[in-house]
Amino acid sequence: MSALILDELKKVALNDVANYGKFYFDNVESIFDYLKNFSGVKSEISIQDFNKEMDYIRFSSILSDISSVYLKYLGKGVKITLVDKQKITASNQLFNTIIKDNNNPVIFAGYSLREQNELSDFFKMVKPLLKSNRLILHSERVMMGKTSDNRWQAHDVFQGSPLNNWVVDERLYKEINSIPIEFNPVSYQNKKELFEITIPYLKGIPIKELNIVLNDNADLLSSFRKNLKELISQGIKDNKTLDEIKNDLVRPDIDKLNSKFTSIKNIHKLKVAGTTLSCITTTLLSLPYPELTKQIFITLSTLGLGAFVKNEVDYQKELEKLKDYPLFLLWQVKKIQE
């Protein structure tokens, strides 16, 4: 899929925000195909309050060629576009907490998006990154289940899971080759630390000025990301030369970024809005697949009347498909240095 879909999405974001959710929903497969085939470094970020968490986007813009941003589902002021007959992978434990109708869970699935005024404010704030195709705002997938006390409860869907099989509450599957950034780390069992890296960024810099910095330093950032991809690739292969690659290839680029950002920070016109040089120390984690035998498959309709898959042969086939997916990689933020 060409970048045309990104141009169309950007056009709607900047000129027709009222229809952004509908356009995204109608073209979500093309958007995911584009990201899947995008060769650069890409990251996913989930944030709640973009006014308070914009530095996460600034950091991701240094780390990645393109950032996928999800404004997390908050309930009030959120519009949900329902999805018909959506397959979902969930745990038996979750399944048992939801009211059943003839053994079918009372649930619905959909794409959620914040209200129009909030979206407009967000798009205005990140406009330069949007225009440069450095950022995509996604409509977040969510599943709602009716509990025993007759309340609707929202359940997170791992946004990197396949469009034809949403993974609920189990954030350990991956189909598209992007790298999520976890700014609020949770405990993962059996995680494997591939390597740790400290990356500089310009904290508090106006987004317009940040975009200029990214353009002016495209060659340096391209070298950094290329070498970072090589380090990640070797880490996946469990190669023993990770330290050598990091010290010989990635560290010199990071030193250059530190020097360059220090100079930029000292430029008079950027001594506004509290721009400072900061760093985020992250660890790249490799996560093995969980015990898949603990999962169940549910086929949903918008009415919440699904068909629980009881056929063991079909079930095992689905498990085998999941086992073929690549390792799930996660940047886990360890600390923020001011």
Reported as a single tens digit per residue, the pLDDT across 143-152 is 988 888 888 8
State residue 306's pLDDT score. Answer: 45
24 vs 137: CA distance, rounded Å? 9
For residue 289, what pLDDT is reported? Answer: 57
pLDDT band at 91 (very low <50, low <70, confident <90, very high): confident
> With 50 as the cut, is the pLDDT of residue 1 above it?
no
Q: Which two tokens stand for residue 30?
A: 């093309």
In sequence order, what are the residues at sequence separation of 6 or more whose Cβ sits closer than 8 angstroms to the Cβ of residue 69?
44, 45, 47, 57, 135, 136, 137, 138
So what's the pLDDT on residue 338?
A: 47
Query: Rounded to whole angstroms, how far apart are CA atoms 265 and 226?
Result: 25
Residue 65 has pLDDT above 70, yes or no: yes
The per-residue pLDDT for 133 is 94
pLDDT in tens, 36-54: 888 888 899 988 999 999 9
Which tokens belong to 181?
A: 């950034």
What's the pLDDT tens digit per position in 275-333? 888 999 988 887 765 544 456 666 655 444 444 444 455 656 665 665 555 556 788 88
- On the 0-12 / 13-18 / 19+ scale of CB atoms within 10 A, 160 is buried
* Mean pLDDT along residues 136-157: 90
pLDDT of residue 78: 87
| Cα 247 from Cα 94, distance rounded (Å) | 45
Which residues touch 175 (CB under 8 Å, ≥6 apart)? 36, 160, 161, 162, 325, 326
Task: For residues 199 and 220, give the distance between their C-alpha atoms in angstroms, rounded to a whole number.
Answer: 14
pLDDT band for position 126 (50/70/90)?
very high
Apex CA 37: angle with CA 16 and CA 216, to 5°?
Answer: 70
Average pLDDT, the chain: 82
How high is the pLDDT of residue 177?
66
How much is the pLDDT for 84? 82
CA distance 182 to 44: 9
User: Could you tell me if 107 and 304 are in contact, meaning their C-beta atoms sit under 8 angstroms apart?
Assistant: yes
- Beta carbons of 41 and 171 less than 8 angstroms apart: no
pTM attached to this predicted model? 0.86
112-124 pLDDT per residue, tens:
999 999 999 999 9
Q: Where is average pLDDT lowest: 105-109, 168-172, 191-195? A: 168-172
pLDDT at position 119: 95
- What's the Rg (C-alpha) of the chain? 21
Q: Which residue has the higher pLDDT, 79 or 312?
A: 79
Which among 116, 267, 114 has a CA at the least distance from the CA of 205?
A: 267
Average of per-residue pLDDT across 225-231:
90
Q: What is the pLDDT of residue 231?
A: 87
Tell me the percentage of the chain whose pLDDT exceeds 90. 37
